[in-house]
């Protein structure tokens, strides 16, 4: 349970250190847009248990029932003005530190999905992923750090997500579960920070050389190294 110790330690310290950033953002959201601070959404967690995931509100109310549902496209019209900045910088994900502290999530793990998008994975991958806590970041999140940018043009469809993106992302999450350990835990934290600073970097492919190879439709978008 060493990873749980570090989850509590890192999330607690991060909440304290980031409070000067998080509190002003909460005030801005309260008095702009639609007045919502947090967006709470059902996500599938360990053992298939559904929990409420915290995010800063970046989209119009009831957005899961509008347009493309829980799949977000590039330049999605449902995104609020302040939300564009929060999503681009990934600041909108920071309230999930609360989920980590409370034990719903880990710092590193498979990305928690809505029941709808989780069903896009095969039964085998679903069963594998449900063995661990989902993560704020992870191998799938690092490789698909620009997922919204991928979902545009010819790729801007729910079918493309369901048939191309979801199966490959599922194979990455399965790889993590089968290879998880403290080395991967800390390496993924490093790669997450690196990807935020250098979003076009190919370091993940160089560091994790035995990752599943992406389908041809995704190789260029994911900066894959042949």
Q: Count of alpha carbons within 13 Å of 25, Cβ hemisphere only?
A: 22
For the chain, the average pLDDT equals 88
Where residue 152 falls (left for φ over 0; alpha for ψ -120 to 50; beta otherwise) is: beta
3-class secondary structure per residue, 60-93: CCCHHHCCCCCCCCCCCCCECHHHHHHHHHCHHH
pLDDT in tens, 173-221: 999 999 999 999 999 999 999 988 888 899 999 999 899 999 999 998 8
**Residue 75 pLDDT > 90:** no
Q: Are 55 and 41 in contact (CB under 8 A)?
A: yes
Parallel, antiparallel, or unpaired: how do β-strands 38-44 and 50-56 relate?
antiparallel
**What stretches of the chain show up as alpha helix (H) in DSSP?**
2-30, 81-89, 96-102, 115-118, 123-129, 139-143, 147-150, 158-160, 166-179, 182-197, 203-207, 216-219
DSSP type of residue 48: G
Paired tokens of 50? 């559904």
Neighbours of 177 (CB within 10 A): 18
Q: Are 206 and 198 in contact (CB under 8 A)?
A: no
**So what's the pLDDT on residue 113?**
93
Burial label for 220, CB within 10 Å (0-12, 13-18, 19+), is exposed
In this prediction, residue 66 has a pLDDT band, given cuts at 50, 70 and 90, of low
The secondary structure of 92-116 as a DSSP string is GGTTHHHHHHHTS-EEESSPP--HH
Regarding pTM above 0.75, the answer is: yes
**Residue 153 pLDDT > 70:** no
pLDDT in tens, 11-61: 999 999 999 999 999 998 888 767 889 989 999 999 999 999 999 988 876
How many Å apart are CA 25 and CA 55, to the nearest integer?
A: 12
Q: Are 114 and 70 in contact (CB under 8 A)?
A: yes
**Residue 149 pLDDT > 80:** no
The residue extents of the domains of the chain are 2-219
């Amino acid at each position: 349970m060493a990873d749980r110790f570090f989850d509590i330690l890192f999330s607690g310290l991060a909440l304290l250190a980031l409070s000067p950033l998080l509190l002003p953002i909460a005030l801005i959201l309260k008095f702009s847009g639609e007045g919502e601070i947090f967006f709470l959404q059902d996500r599938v967690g360990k053992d298939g248990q559904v929990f409420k995931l915290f995010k800063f509100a970046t989209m119009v109310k009831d957005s899961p029932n509008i347009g493309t549902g829980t799949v977000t496209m590039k330049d999605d019209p449902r995104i609020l003005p302040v939300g564009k900045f929060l999503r681009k910088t990934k600041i909108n994900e920071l309230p999930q530190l609360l989920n980590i502290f409370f034990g719903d999530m880990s710092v590193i793990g498979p990305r928690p999905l809505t029941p709808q998008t989780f069903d896009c994975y095969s039964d085998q991958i679903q069963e594998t992923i449900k063995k661990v806590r989902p993560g704020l970041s992870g191998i799938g999140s690092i490789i698909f750090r620009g997922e919204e940018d991928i979902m545009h043009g010819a790729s801007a469809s729910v079918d493309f997500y369901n048939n191309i993106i979801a199966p490959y992302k599922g194979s990455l999450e399965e790889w993590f579960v089968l290879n998880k350990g403290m080395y991967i835990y800390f390496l993924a934290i490093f790669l997450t920070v690196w990807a935020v600073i250098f979003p076009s970097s190919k370091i993940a492919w160089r560091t994790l050389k035995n990752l599943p190879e992406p389908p041809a439709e995704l190789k260029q978008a994911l900066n894959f190294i042949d």
